[in-house]
């Protein structure tokens, strides 16, 4: 563009006019169709990505057209709910609950477990919505459907599950015992870790055998997936754990266990205080106040004798 | 031979009038901040008395200083393992009651009180709780023997006295006491430095001033326990320990420290000493009776060409050497040998020296009148040492780790100077008697004259011989000046504060 600016501009418009006049309409239609191909391809890829995300993050609690599980059935959700709200909800449920969103509050009341923050990117959210829309609309949904969780789990051994929970037995693929983060009734008075929720009532909360199995297969929460995505539990281990959690399924911890824990805490405190008192028995307890008290005592004694 | 320079102090106790001007000067400059209310980097104690904090000299309680353990020194406070066990709870700290609870007064009440039958009063308010309080102690609570049945009679140095001497002193206490001003001793072998788990305390290479880094200090407070003189203090507001910095910003600009500068009695002297750092351990390990002599031996003659050569090799400047040659500390401590370290048995090799007071005053009361005629003839005056009302053993407990002979020597020399000058001025003592006194005091007429001049008539320049501080050269030894220059100065310093 080295020539005069205004004259160049005029020349270009002139050229365009000539082009429109000369290029046949058919060409234009063909070009438009060609341009749409990538859009179609993208849509297909998005649904594919969505299927992966759904399988790993959502299928633990949701179905598409197979009825309520831990969470609601998502069939047709993209048409009944506002897509903008859906996107925000999937991206960060806790933000909406915190903000007091009415729909969110209703869901929290209706379902036993609040949906965790899954840490999905906005691309993932769009993809999974596209996938849900696609699955809701087509008959194929019933054929292909979400992954394994609905398959009947193998029968579990609660005893082995307990060992896995407390770390007496190793997980096949590595991975820490549940107890390092979770507590549950029936593993002794001290209980387990407090990073994750107490699992005493988990069997009911997470939707029984099927719900727990799908949860532990897909491990949707960010904290757990960080640990388990690279070293998943085997179906047999999941069944054993489910069996153990089911066995201990009571609505709250028995009072006796809490009392035992409190007693242990008091005994430990007393022992620690005693050790400290013994170790530092020769500590300096103040100099001036005892000195003055002693001198006053001697003085008073002397004075009393004289009078 | 590893010659280094040390700023060293001499306090002439005969001249101290106990006015606390030094303490106030220091307080106004350095410790009028929040969290430092109870600190007195400089304080003045009455002796006999328990001092500040109460009975600080009693290391059975406070565990400060060093202990000779065979041919090794160890901290009385703790070893490494013990230190680890005590790191989150230091069991040997003085409580605030052993210092005193700092307070102010509700001065507003003097002006704003409603009209009434009584005079308005300003109630004391605790600077710790902010609530009205009853004052139970202060930083100089036993000043001028106040409350002596409680305080003075519990002086740690009295333990070494016989029952008879104690009774004698008890009578004397009604008449005689002396003052002991104290600042950080800037020791050659500081136990606060050794006790610090954070490595926050250091001794400045160029002048030997001991400082606590306010950036590195992590509030373990082992220095508070480790220092036998209890001259490091914990600032509860910043969470850092603090101590006397010998006014190094003033020294670096050629001024005497605030307490020195403001001293009314002009008791304070400051000058450089050259010492042999290779011999610190050997000196600190000396037998108790030999500690004072060992400390004199480690101080080197600044006129000796060998010493000068070694000093220059260590980067000591010509100005510093000249200052060391002119140093009043060198004269009092080494040349004349009349200034002694306070409690050398703590083995920290303190670099603050005291000329012991010439108690008692020569004279007595006759019919309620001071009677100078009681001083008759030299024999009685020379004997005044042995008849001294404050026992030599008490002074030995303070200044020579129990070696009474050293104290006697110091006194004989000081008495000789007095008799010599008395013969000269008052002329009621014969020249022969004065000469005999000089011989007994192991001194000469010239030396007596010099001691007299530096004691009684010194100018400011003679009292404070402060060399030009070659800070840039000192920095150069550890850091490239061009690295240091942009890294220091405006905008980089942070006020000490809790940062964890």
Q: CATH number of A158-247: 3.30.70.580, 1.10.760.10, 1.10.260.40, 3.40.50.720?
A: 1.10.760.10
Structure tokens at A141: 């949904």
Distances in whole angstroms, Cα of residue B82 to Cα of each of A179, B39, B235: 36, 28, 24
pLDDT (0 to 100) of residue A8:
45
Of residues A279, A280, A289, nearest to B97 (C-beta):
A289
In angstroms, how far is CA A228 from the centroid of its own chain? 12
Q: CATH number of B8-101+141-357: 1.20.1090.10, 3.30.70.20, 3.30.1650.10, 3.40.190.10?
A: 3.30.70.20
Asked whether B179 and B16 are in contact (CB, 8 A), the reply is yes
Mean pLDDT value across residues A188-210 = 81
Nearest-CA neighbor of B202 among B247, B245, B146? B245
Structure tokens at B461: 């320049």
Strands B124-126 vs B178-182: parallel, antiparallel or unpaired: unpaired
Q: Output phi, psi for B461, to 5 deg.
A: -70, -25
CA closest to B62 among chain A residues: A284
Confidence label for A1 from pLDDT (cuts 50, 70 and 90):
very low
Residue whose entry in the numeric block shows the structure tokens 């030997």: B208
pLDDT (0 to 100) of residue B64:
95
Structure tokens at A257: 């266990």
Rounded to whole angstroms, the Cα distance separating B256 from B279 reads 29
Of residues B54, B91, B92, nearest to A288 (C-beta):
B54
Of residues A283, A289, A296, nearest to B91 (C-beta):
A283
Asked whether B443 and B417 are in contact (CB, 8 A), the reply is yes
Q: Min CA distance, A258 vs chain B (Å)?
A: 32
DSSP assignment of B108-140, as one string? HHHHHPPP-SS-----EEETTT-SB------TT
Mean pLDDT value across residues A133-156 = 58
- Average pLDDT of every residue of chain A: 76
Confidence label for A125 from pLDDT (cuts 50, 70 and 90):
confident
pLDDT (0 to 100) of residue A139:
43
CB–CB contact B54 A291 (8 Å): yes
Rounded to whole angstroms, the Cα distance separating B402 from B113 reads 57
pLDDT (0 to 100) of residue A221:
81
In angstroms, how far is CA A306 from the centroid of its own chain? 83
- Which residue spans within B215-342 are E strands per DSSP? 232-235, 240-243, 268-276, 299-300, 340-341
Neighbour-count burial of A302, counting CB atoms closer than 10 A to its CB (0-12 exposed, 13-18 middle, 19+ buried): exposed
Rounded to whole angstroms, the Cα distance separating A111 from A106 reads 9
What is the percentage of chain A residues whose pLDDT exceeds 70? 76
Q: Do domains A35-146 and A158-247 have the same CATH topology?
A: yes
Nearest-CA neighbor of B443 among B435, B432, B455? B435
Name every chain A residue with its beta carbon within 8 A of the beta carbon of B50. Answer: 288, 291
CA closest to A299 among chain B residues: B149
Of residues A285, A288, A296, nearest to B137 (C-beta):
A288
Q: CATH number of B359-458: 1.10.260.40, 1.20.140.10, 1.10.3650.10, 2.40.160.40?
A: 1.10.3650.10
Rounded to whole angstroms, the Cα distance separating B187 from A295 reads 35
Distances in whole angstroms, Cα of residue B444 to Cα of each of B354, B413, B414, B434, B447: 22, 10, 12, 10, 5
Task: Say how many C-beta atoms besides its own lie within 10 A of residue A18's C-beta.
Answer: 10
Structure tokens at A297: 């005592």
CB–CB contact B54 A280 (8 Å): no
CB–CB contact A284 B54 (8 Å): no
Asked whether B135 and B103 are in contact (CB, 8 A), the reply is yes
From chain B residues 109-138, the ones with a CB under 8 A of any chain A CB are 137
Rounded to whole angstroms, the Cα distance separating A133 from A64 reads 10
Tell me: pLDDT of A28 over 70.
no
For domain A35-146, give the CATH number.
1.10.760.10
Asked whether B399 and B340 are in contact (CB, 8 A), the reply is yes
Handedness of CA A114, A119, A123, A124 (dihedral sign): negative
Q: Output phi, psi for B382, to 5 deg.
A: -65, -30
pLDDT one-digit tens code per residue, A240-295: 888 888 876 565 566 777 788 889 999 999 999 999 999 999 999 999 999 999 98
Asked whether B331 and B454 are in contact (CB, 8 A), the reply is yes
In angstroms, how far is CA B71 from the centroid of its own chain? 28
**Chain A CB within 8 Å of residue B213 CB:** no
Structure tokens at A298: 């001697």
CB–CB contact B54 A283 (8 Å): no
**CATH 1.10.3650.10 domain locations along chain B:** 359-458
pLDDT (0 to 100) of residue B291:
96
Of residues A279, A283, A295, nearest to B150 (C-beta):
A295
Residue whose entry in the numeric block shows the structure tokens 């009361």: B365
pLDDT one-digit tens code per residue, B303-345: 999 999 999 999 899 999 999 999 999 999 999 999 999 999 9
Name every chain B residue with its beta carbon within 8 A of the beta carbon of A284. Answer: 61-63, 91-95
Mean pLDDT value across residues A209-219 = 80
pLDDT (0 to 100) of residue A229:
83
Helix (H) or strand (E) run with residue B180 in it: strand B178-182
Rounded to whole angstroms, the Cα distance separating B195 from B210 reads 14
- Quick check: helix, strand or coil at residue B421? helix
Residue whose entry in the numeric block shows the structure tokens 């003592």: B429
Nearest-CA neighbor of B447 among B409, B424, B414, B406? B414
Task: Say how many C-beta atoms besides its own lie within 10 A of residue A110's C-beta.
Answer: 10
Rounded to whole angstroms, the Cα distance separating B295 from B280 reads 9
Least confident of A62-76, A177-191, B280-294: A62-76
Higher-scoring residue by pLDDT: B246, A135? B246
Angle at B8 between CA B10 and CA B45, to 5 degrees: 45
Q: How many Å from the N-terminal Cα to the C-terminal Cα in chain B?
A: 44
From chain B residues 34-73, the ones with a CB under 8 A of any chain A CB are 50, 53-55, 58, 61-63
Q: Which residues contact B132 (CB under 8 A, 6 or more apart)?
A: B106, B123, B124, B125, B126
Asked whether A250 and A166 are in contact (CB, 8 A), the reply is no
Domain range summary for chain A, segments of one domain joined by +: 35-146, 158-247, 260-306
pLDDT (0 to 100) of residue A141:
42
Outline where A100-249 has alpha helix (H): 102-110, 122-137, 140-144, 158-166, 202-205, 208-218, 222-228, 235-247
Confidence label for A127 from pLDDT (cuts 50, 70 and 90):
confident
Asked whether B342 and B229 are in contact (CB, 8 A), the reply is yes
Strand partners, B72: B69
Rounded to whole angstroms, the Cα distance separating B138 from B146 reads 12
Q: Min CA distance, B151 vs chain A (Å)?
A: 8
Q: Compute mean pLDDT per 10 residues along chain B, 500 residues long, and list them.
A: 95 95 96 94 93 94 94 93 93 94 93 89 94 94 84 84 75 74 97 95 93 92 96 94 95 94 96 96 95 96 96 92 96 96 96 88 53 48 60 91 93 91 88 90 95 95 91 80 76 64
């Amino acid at each position: 563009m080295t020539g005069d600016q205004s004259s160049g501009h005029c020349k270009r418009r002139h050229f365009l006019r000539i082009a429109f006049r000369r290029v046949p309409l058919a060409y234009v239609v063909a070009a438009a169709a060609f341009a749409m191909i990538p859009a179609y391809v993208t849509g297909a890829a998005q649904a594919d990505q969505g299927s992966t995300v759904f399988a790993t993050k959502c299928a633990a609690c949701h179905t598409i057209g197979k009825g309520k599980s831990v969470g609601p059935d998502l069939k047709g959700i993209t048409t009944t709910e506002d897509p903008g709200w859906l996107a925000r909800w999937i991206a960060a449920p806790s933000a909406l609950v915190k903000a007091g969103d009415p729909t969110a509050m209703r869901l929290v009341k209706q379902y036993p477990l609040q949906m965790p923050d899954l840490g999905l990117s906005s691309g993932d959210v769009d993809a999974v919505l596209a996938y849900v829309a696609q699955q809701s609309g087509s008959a194929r949904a019933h054929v292909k459907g979400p992954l394994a969780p609905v398959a009947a789990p193998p029968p579990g051994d609660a005893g082995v599950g307990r060992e896995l929970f407390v770390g007496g037995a190793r997980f096949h693929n590595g991975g820490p015992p549940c107890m390092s983060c979770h507590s549950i009734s029936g593993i002794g008075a001290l209980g387990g870790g407090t990073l994750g929720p107490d699992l005493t009532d988990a069997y009911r909360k997470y939707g029984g055998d099927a719900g727990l199995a799908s949860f532990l297969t897909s491990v949707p929460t960010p904290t757990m997936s960080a640990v388990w995505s690279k070293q998943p539990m085997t179906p047999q281990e999941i069944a054993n754990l489910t069996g153990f959690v089911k066995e201990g399924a009571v609505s709250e911890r028995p009072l006796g266990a809490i009392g035992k824990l409190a007693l242990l805490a008091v005994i430990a405190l007393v022992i620690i205080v005693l050790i400290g008192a013994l170790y530092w028995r020769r500590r300096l307890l103040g100099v001036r106040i005892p000195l003055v008290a002693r001198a006053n005592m001697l003085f008073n004694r002397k004075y009393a004798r004289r009078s | 031979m590893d010659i280094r320079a040390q700023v060293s102090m001499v306090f002439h106790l005969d001249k101290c009038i106990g006015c606390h001007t030094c303490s106030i000067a220091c307080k106004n400059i350095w410790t009028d901040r929040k969290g430092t209310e109870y600190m007195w980097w400089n304080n003045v104690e009455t002796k006999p008395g328990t001092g500040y904090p109460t009975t600080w000299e009693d290391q059975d309680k406070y565990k400060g200083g060093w202990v000779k353990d065979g041919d090794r020194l160890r901290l009385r406070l703790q070893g490494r393992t013990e230190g680890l066990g005590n790191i989150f709870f230091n069991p040997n700290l003085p409580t605030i009651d052993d210092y005193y609870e700092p307070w102010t007064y509700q001065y507003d009440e003097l002006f704003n009180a409603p009209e009434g039958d009584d005079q308005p009063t300003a109630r004391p308010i605790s600077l710790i709780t902010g609530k009205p309080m009853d004052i139970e102690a202060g930083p100089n609570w036993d000043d001028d023997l106040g409350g002596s049945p409680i305080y003075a009679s519990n002086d740690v140095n009295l333990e070494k006295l016989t029952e008879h001497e104690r009774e004698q002193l008890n009578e004397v206490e009604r008449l005689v006491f002396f003052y002991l001003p104290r600042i950080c001793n800037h020791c050659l072998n500081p136990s606060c430095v050794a006790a610090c788990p954070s490595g926050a305390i250091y001794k400045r290479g160029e002048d030997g001033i001991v400082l606590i880094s306010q950036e590195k200090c992590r509030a373990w407070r082992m220095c508070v326990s480790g220092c036998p003189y209890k001259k490091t203090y914990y600032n509860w507001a910043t969470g850092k320990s603090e101590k006397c910095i010998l006014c190094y910003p003033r020294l670096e600009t050629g001024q005497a420290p605030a307490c020195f500068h403001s001293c009314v009695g002009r008791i304070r002297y400051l000058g450089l000493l050259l010492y042999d750092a290779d011999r610190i351990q050997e000196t600190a390990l000396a037998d108790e009776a030999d500690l004072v002599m060992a400390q004199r031996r480690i101080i080197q003659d600044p006129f000796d060409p060998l010493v000068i050569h070694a000093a220059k090799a260590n980067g000591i400047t010509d100005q510093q050497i000249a200052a060391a040659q002119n140093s009043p500390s060198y004269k009092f401590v080494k040349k004349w040998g009349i200034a002694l370290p306070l409690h050398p048995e703590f083995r920290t090799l303190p670099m603050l020296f005291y000329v012991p007071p010439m108690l008692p005053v020569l004279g007595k009361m006759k019919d309620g009148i001071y009677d100078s005629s009681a001083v008759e003839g030299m024999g009685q005056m020379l004997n005044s040492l042995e008849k001294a009302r404050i026992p030599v053993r008490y002074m030995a407990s303070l200044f020579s780790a129990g070696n009474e002979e050293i104290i006697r020597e110091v006194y004989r020399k000081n008495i000789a100077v007095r008799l010599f000058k008395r013969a000269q001025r008052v002329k009621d003592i014969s020249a022969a008697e004065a000469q005999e006194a000089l011989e007994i005091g192991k001194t000469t007429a010239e030396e007596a004259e010099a001691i007299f001049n530096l004691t009684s008539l010194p100018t400011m320049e003679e009292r404070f011989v402060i060399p030009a501080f070659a800070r840039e050269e000192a920095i150069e030894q550890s850091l490239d000046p061009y690295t240091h220059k942009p890294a220091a100065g405006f905008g980089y310093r942070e006020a000490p504060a809790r940062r964890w």
